């Protein structure tokens, strides 16, 4: 009958690729003995450039109801201004609102890549957070396995002590 592998042995098998014995032992000790959780948001925020901060702010504003409502009001104002208030030669952008269409296309052309940059950075942060969670889960499993082994050892020793006491009493 094949014996059940411990979590440490499984981790050793997983880590076996391109890691020598010394590094493997250090990694296991690190996982078991040292705290490994990090604040991903804090760490990534310290690395943000000015462009990153601007992209995040634009994404935050452009994805809000306030922006949608204000932009809708601007569009209504533009149409009312050009159709009803300014007539004849005074119109800035007569129907079919070619200037407005150009303005909307330019805004969309700039806004889309900026929002994508922000989303890519958020996806990277999510990936780092997932990796950190995996390491924490792995560490917890290793600690629980060690505790389980120690409890088994304690129970075995307790049984041995019971046997010794029962033999002495007879």
Kindly report each contact of residues 60-66 with a partner whose C-beta sits within 8 Å and lies 24 or more positions away, as own/partner: 62/111, 62/115, 63/115
44 and 20 in a common domain: no
20 and 2 in a common domain: yes
30 and 89 in a common domain: no
Residue 166 lies in a domain: no
> In the chain, pLDDT over 70 holds for what percent of residues?
78
130 and 83 in a common domain: yes
**In a 3-state reduction of DSSP, which class is residue 169?**
helix
Model-wide pTM > 0.85: no
The string of pLDDT tens digits covering residues 73-105 is: 999 999 999 988 888 788 889 889 999 999 999
50 and 126 in a common domain: yes
Q: Which domain range does residue 22 map to?
A: 1-34
The string of pLDDT tens digits covering residues 17-42 is: 555 666 666 666 666 655 666 777 78
130 and 50 in a common domain: yes
pLDDT at site 36? 64
pLDDT at site 132? 84
């Amino acid at each position: 009958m094949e014996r059940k592998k411990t979590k440490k042995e499984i981790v050793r098998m997983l880590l076996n690729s391109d890691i020598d014995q010394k590094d493997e032992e250090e990694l296991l000790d690190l996982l078991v003995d040292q705290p490994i959780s990090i604040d991903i948001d804090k760490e990534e925020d310290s690395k943000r450039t000015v462009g990153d901060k601007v992209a995040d702010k634009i994404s935050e504003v452009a994805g809000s109801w306030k922006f949608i409502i204000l932009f809708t009001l601007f569009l209504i104002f533009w149409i009312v201004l050009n159709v009803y208030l300014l007539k004849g030669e005074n119109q800035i952008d007569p129907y079919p609102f070619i200037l407005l269409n150009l303005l909307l296309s330019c805004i969309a052309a700039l806004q889309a890549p900026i929002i994508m940059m922000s989303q890519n950075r958020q996806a990277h942060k999510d990936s780092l957070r997932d990796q950190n969670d995996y390491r924490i889960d792995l560490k917890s499993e290793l600690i629980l396995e060690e505790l389980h082994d120690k409890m088994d050892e304690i129970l075995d020793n307790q049984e041995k002590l019971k046997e010794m006491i029962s033999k002495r009493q007879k």
